[in-house]
């Protein structure tokens, strides 16, 4: 998804071309409110865009195999270069597999992987707060190097200090 600052439109790019999926959003709304985007990808049906849980548009696309690369913001990827940076913050980015509720938090896993690759951060304890409490999510985060994975919202507020004490002991 790219942001066209002149036309104030978000557009979905697929391969090396724009799709017909785009949406205008008031810049003041982008700066003052959280805007929820959901992109559904079906390898047989194509791509659908939702904004704040409202369906925007679908487009039938032809996928090569069942592999997909997703890029955010400025990107210097070999097959795709972009300097467009959306005028917003990204949070709670997640991948849901086949609408089953199984998924994992992409932002957390990407950040964790980068932390664990840097020598200065390899031994720093990391606690992940995730909206997914399933075993698959916990396993992925643990394999990537999380010291602990806690599920949001924290109902028992004693869990966090107990977890930190356990990690630091």
Nearest to 4 by CA among 33, 25, 35: 25
For the domain that residue 116 is a member of, what is the CATH number? 3.40.50.2300
pTM of the shown model: 0.55
Q: pLDDT at position 127, please?
A: 84
Q: pLDDT at position 60, please?
A: 87
Q: What is the DSSP letter of 121?
A: G
- For residues 71 and 124, state if they share a domain: no
- For residues 143 and 74, state if they share a domain: no
Tens of pLDDT, residues 111-148: 677 677 777 777 788 888 877 777 877 887 888 888 88
Tens of pLDDT, residues 32-74: 888 888 888 777 778 888 898 899 999 888 777 666 666 666 6
Q: pLDDT at position 142, please?
A: 84
Domain that holds residue 155: 103-168
Q: pLDDT at position 132, please?
A: 73
- Which of the listed residues 87, 121, 139 is the one where a domain comes to its end? 87
Residue 92 lies in a domain: no
Nearest to 135 by CA among 96, 93, 98, 102: 102
| 98 close to 64: Cβ distance less than 8 angstroms | no
Which parts of 17-160 are beta strand (E)? 17-24, 37-42, 46-51, 54-59, 75-77, 80-82, 94-96, 103-105, 127-130, 148-151
């Amino acid at each position: 998804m790219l942001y066209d600052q002149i036309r104030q439109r978000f557009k979905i790019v697929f391969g090396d071309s724009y799709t017909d999926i785009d949406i205008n959003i008031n810049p003041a709304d982008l700066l003052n409110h959280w805007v929820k985007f959901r992109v559904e990808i079906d390898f047989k049906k194509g791509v659908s865009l939702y904004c704040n849980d409202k369906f925007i548009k679908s487009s039938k696309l032809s996928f090569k195999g069942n592999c997909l690369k997703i890029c955010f913001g400025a990107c210097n990827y070999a097959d795709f270069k972009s300097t467009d940076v959306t005028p917003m913050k990204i949070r709670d980015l997640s991948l849901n597999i086949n609408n089953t509720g199984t998924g994992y938090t992409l932002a957390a896993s990407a950040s964790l992987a980068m932390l664990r690759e840097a020598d200065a951060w390899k031994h720093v304890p990391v606690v992940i707060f995730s909206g997914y409490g399933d075993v698959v999510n916990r396993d992925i985060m643990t394999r990537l190097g999380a010291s602990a994975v806690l599920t949001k919202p924290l109902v028992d507020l004693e869990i966090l200090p107990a977890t930190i004490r356990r990690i630091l002991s």
